[in-house]
Structure 1
């Protein structure tokens, strides 16, 4: 027997799990396929520091996830942007834009535990854990037929398949959707760091030729570090002892926080952007990193992916209420249309910022310096940047405005 579901979500990470929660009570028959077994967390829930935009905080609160975080979050009340070797800097204050904070800093592991706690209460969700998507069988009766592998072979039928399986999406490949890939030739090291000055709500983004060095205010009185290095130097940097690594970060970041005192376990990730040529196919839609993965400068990746999922949830809930086809062309076209502006503007902004800030040379330095001065001086330009940073760009999901997907 092959079970039939209205929606099958492939991937139980940040975006896939959030979508499953958003669909609770919709009346849809939903299943989620998760590679991680029930006894383990997905690898994405590690010690990385996630910067949740204000819109994301609103949405995850509406979904009942933020309330389940066990560790305190760190509020971002101001953003300080500068570039090593250039004149000018930008200081954005949330209060100047009518907000208490631009967003919150959350440790990925804590977020994963909160998502799992919330998922355990979702009724009507069928979870296939320790199971991987391996391909499609021929379609049947208006459904996609998914072939899965876990403890044994399994097939599921889905009126709609949601690919939330990351930047190396197997579903995207099986659908034949092409991608463009840009390697920034950088490796980003993340860690927990302490300094002479404790966090005061300021998120620092210090840009350099080899990538950004960001320090984010965590809720545990430490800083969340993201330190970019040229790919050719990454192995040597990873081999440094803690004292040597702190000295390197101190040189890249400067002394705004006084002496950097300690650093926790480090993890490294290559900075590679992957952009799908299309986000929908017959009875299938891509969300999150399966649709696009971006450079972390500006901290937009998960926030963008969550908005993919929340717009999809809105459309599916409306479709279920009207008795429509959750995998029909009308819904898929509506999702693509509603996500087009936000996706396009966010991807272009992230890529442009990553390219511009890492471009060495005196001429580029003058242009960057002038740009920072202009941004610091023009309230209208600041407001546009701040709005995007808080997740209010394009067609904003209702949950991001403090409402629900219904």
Structure 2
């Protein structure tokens, strides 16, 4: 991937915020999008705001009392780095439902010999990460957001575009509410509004798309054997099948099918779907006994060509929507958010404009290595494991065998799976490491 585009230079502006017009609302930072990453950013910025007096606004499409649609029955695999951060942000302690620890990871492919088995205890850990249900996680985020009196929540509201640049060091976002359209001025606008980001489009940031020709079906399932901490990833010609240990005694299942088969799979009754899932996954958890409601998601990779524009940053799925193989998406987006917070904090300490070009250039540079390596891992694994070329089967088998028998290769795989790639934000490190770094 080529280096991030340089930040287009904007006129110099003071570190203190300019005064908005009388009819405007003013924030230091306006976050557009209250989903997984946007809400996490709001919480992290509020934590910083207590130290530096930051005024943060969060623009949310969902009305008060309702969760965004993204908080459904999907299963989120939180890498260890994300677990550290979300505990420090007081989100994970607010989970009402138990999470499922990932103590072991088992990787194999249908038709290929060999497998990779990773055990957290071999790396001095009880778990590589945790599995949470998106809805449970959304409720924990909402509980934390509700305890932030400094945060200004604009909801329900929708971003409709930007007003003309007034040359005063502010971005002005047009938002539509039940009371009509109005302007919100901010020193920095953050696009956290998902794959089809309206903010990213309004900033003129182009995207690169790749359709994997796959649809993923997500559902919880119950099996003869209860979860024991093992997360299985089973690859096939048509996509991955993952079976994850939830904390409620069920498994979180993800089943990939060719896009042209998706309608037929969606039409299967529960018994027929369970039979298909059993054939794809095997008998590692015994017989699959029941399955909950299914949701289907076409898989398309969407990459923003740059992460910044004057007085704007792009994070989470608005910056990159990945194939869910390897469970990298939310973990990568959370690291986007936490890195941006650190860049804002550093700029404030230097007396610089928190929405200025230097902050944005630092953010883009710090995210480069982690983003490129995670994208390469996710996309490469998705393409390699679904390629049906006969010559690739023995090569994949040898690759699995090599990883399973080479400690250095396993360590690289484990480090990435736990979220330790590139420039790791402080909150993603263990409390003992954060203390030593401080």
Q: TM-score, length-normalised on structure 1?
A: 0.98
Query: Any residues of structure 2 matched to 1:15-34 within 5 Å, and which?
Result: 15-24=37-46, 25=50, 26-34=52-60
Q: Deviations over 1:157-186 (max 9, x none)?
A: 111000000010000000111110011000
In structure 2, the residue matched to 1:391 is 419
Corresponding residue for residue 138 of structure 1: 164
Indicate conservation of the 8 Å contact 1:76/1:217, yes or no: yes
Q: CA deviation at 1:39?
A: 2.6
Alignment partner, residue 187 of structure 2:
159
Give the SS at the match of 1:172. Answer: helix
- Residue 309 of structure 2 is matched in structure 1 by 281
TM-score by length of 2: 0.91
Aligned residue among 55, 70, 74 for 2:96: 70
The structural deviation recorded for 1:318 is: 2.6
Q: Map 1:1-400; keep pairs closer than 5 Å.
A: 1-24=23-46, 25=50, 26-140=52-166, 141-151=168-178, 152-400=180-428
Cα distance in 2, alignment partners of residues 118 and 82 from structure 1:
39
Q: Please name the residue that 2:14 is paired with.
A: none
> Distance in 2 between the 1:167 and 1:214 partners?
23
1:53–1:104: 8 Å Cα contact kept in structure 2? Answer: yes
CA apart distance, 1:4: 1.7
Aligned residues: 406
Distance in 1 (CA, whole Å) between partners of 2:135 and 2:351 is: 38
Runs of 5+ unmatched residues, structure 2 = 1-22
Partner Cα distance (1:200, 1:373) in 2: 24
SS at match of 1:176: coil
Spell out, residue by residue over 1:49-106, the C-alpha distance to the aligned partner (whole angstroms, 9 max, x if none): 0000000000000000000000000000010000001111000111112221100000
Secondary structure of the residue that 2:59 maps to in structure 1? strand
Deviates more, 1:34-43 or 1:46-55: 34-43
1:87 & 1:237 partners in 2: Cα distance? 28
State the match for 2:19 in structure 1: none
Q: 1:278 and 1:319 mapped to 2: Cα distance?
A: 21
Partners of 2:396 and 2:299 in 1: CA distance: 22
Question: The residue matched to 1:160 in structure 2 has which SS?
Answer: strand
Gaps of 5+ in 1: none
CA distance in structure 2 between the partners assigned to 1:402 and 1:78 by the alignment:
20
Q: Secondary structure at the match of 1:299?
A: coil
Return the alpha-carbon distance in structure 1 between the equivalents of residues 257 and 347 of structure 2: 47
Quote how far apart the aligned CAs of 1:320 are.
2.9
CA distance in 1 between partners of 2:145 and 2:349 (Å): 23
CA deviations on 1:237-291 (whole Å, 9 max, x unpaired) are 0000000000000111111111110000110001111001000111100000000
3-state SS in 2 of match to 1:353: helix
Task: Tell me whether 315-324 or 377-386 shows the greater mean CA deviation.
Answer: 315-324
Between 343-352 and 94-103, report the one with greater CA deviation.
94-103
Q: Measure how far apart 1:316 and its partner are.
A: 1.3
SS at match of 2:422: coil
Deviation of the 1:402 alpha carbon: 3.3
Over the aligned positions, Cα root-mean-square deviation in angstroms equals 1.2
